[in-house]
Structure 1
Amino acid sequence: MLRSMQDLESLTLGAIDGDIGTVKDFYFDDEVWVVRYLIVDTGSWLFSRKVLIPPFAIKENDIGSHRLLVTLNKDQVENSPNIGTDRPISRQHEMQSLSYYGYPYYWGSAGNASSSGGPDSLTRKNLATAHRLLHQNDDPHLRSCQAIIGYHIRATDGEIGHVESLLINEETWAVQYLVVYTSNWWLGHTVLISPEWIDSVSWEDQTVALDLDQDAVKTSPQYDSSEQLNRGHEATLYKHYGRVGYWQVETVTQINVRE
């Protein structure tokens, strides 16, 4: 089932022996658009320390009760590596955290990469170089889900709106869709854009460039957040853009693996 980022935020994480805290944000991998970590505020029992919890730890989604149950205990969380979440984390810190919990490393294969770009000016290039040097040990592909809200969406022939939310697959933790609001162009028109249809992302300019034109987006099925998105709605959306549904690709992959 797909859940909006806002629905997943503020969920309580329940450990084996008590509650850990509440979800405040997510780090997703911008190469494959999959959530790698939940950022959890531990509240008063750990002086509001924020910790990273990988989805590997989740054993049960109890969204109805506004809870996620994990396989960890409170001591494990309390003694986990102290990693600041107010800045990009380094790959070394990720290794420490995943090794501590006994989870495998997720990196090593490329996915739907989104590249960054920006104005080709000397000043911007110098600033970009300085930024890269400052954060050269950071994991360059971890991005905050909250931070991408408000990013401008640009079609092949002009801007069309901004990111209003993300829809996350609660089974795979993939960022399945960007919820795009096109109020400045078509009043009240909200559409879904799959990361598969993104040509590039400029993290410096906060702009997402699509491989779609304005007319295709304008005539796409509207998204109503008050209704549960089902496979029929998704099939209509993918048919509109002439694309193969991700669920069909997954089915073919599973068959090939079995063979």
Structure 2
Amino acid sequence: MGSVWMYAPEIGYGARQSLVGFTVEAADGVIGHVDRQQDQPGMQHLVVDTGVWKFGRSVLIPAGAVTGIDTEAQKVRVAPSREEIKAAPRFATDSETADPGYLSGVGDYYLSLRS
């Protein structure tokens, strides 16, 4: 699945810092806040609580979709739009993060947005 599961080097993100609680912004608005994060090499991602914007659902966003991290403002910027994130494969439970089929689908979806 490659780079979709890793932060781009220009982001300058060190895996030692927690992003939990940071606001997550798409180019067209806020989508929620980081509820959980996974920093396992090659499988980095954020679980974002979308609150009422998406009826209380959470979404899994691979680290490769992150375009910037502002530690002072506690904000994470992502490349996909709100609609693209809304259309992403549904995230229901943490057990899905151990399911290769689910992760493959999520990775393929976010990679398809790059073209």
- TM-score normalised by structure 1 residue count: 0.37
Q: Give the residue type in structure 2 aligned to 1:240.
A: Y
* RMSD over equivalenced CA pairs, Å: 2.5
1:207 is the counterpart of 2:75: yes
2:26 aligns with 155
Following superposition of structure 1 onto structure 2, how do residues 218-257 of structure 1 map, counting pairs within 5 Å?
A: 218-229=86-97, 230-241=99-110, 242=112
Q: Give the residue type in structure 2 aligned to 1:166.
A: Q
Following superposition of structure 1 onto structure 2, how do residues 162-173 of structure 1 map, counting pairs within 5 Å?
A: 162-169=33-40, 173=41
Task: Point out 4+ residue stretches in structure 1 off by more than 6 angstroms.
Answer: none
2:10 aligns with 113
Aligned length: 107
CA distance in 2, matches of 1:216, 1:178: 16
- TM-score normalised by structure 2 residue count: 0.77
1:15-61 Cα offsets, whole Å, 9 max, x none, are xxxxxxxxxxxxxxxxx65xxxxxxxxxxxxxxxxxxxxxxxxxxxx
Unaligned runs of 5+ in 1: 1-31, 34-110, 116-139, 245-259
1:143-197 Cα offsets, whole Å, 9 max, x none, are 422xx2110000011100100001243xxx4561111110131112111111111
Following superposition of structure 1 onto structure 2, how do residues 1-259 of structure 1 map, counting pairs within 5 Å?
A: 112-114=9-11, 141=14, 143-145=16-18, 148-169=19-40, 173-174=41-42, 176-229=44-97, 230-241=99-110, 242=112
The percent identity for this pair of structures is 24
SS at match of 2:51: coil
Equivalent pair of 2:96/2:103 in contact (CA under 8 Å): no
CA distance in 2, matches of 1:168, 1:205: 21
Q: Give the residue type in structure 2 aligned to 1:114.
A: I
Note closer, same or farther for the CA distance 1:158–1:234 as it changes in structure 2 (3 Å cut).
Answer: same
Q: Which has the larger radius of gyration?
A: 1
Unaligned runs of 5+ in 2: 1-5
SS at match of 1:204: coil
- Aligned-residue offset at 1:228: 3.8
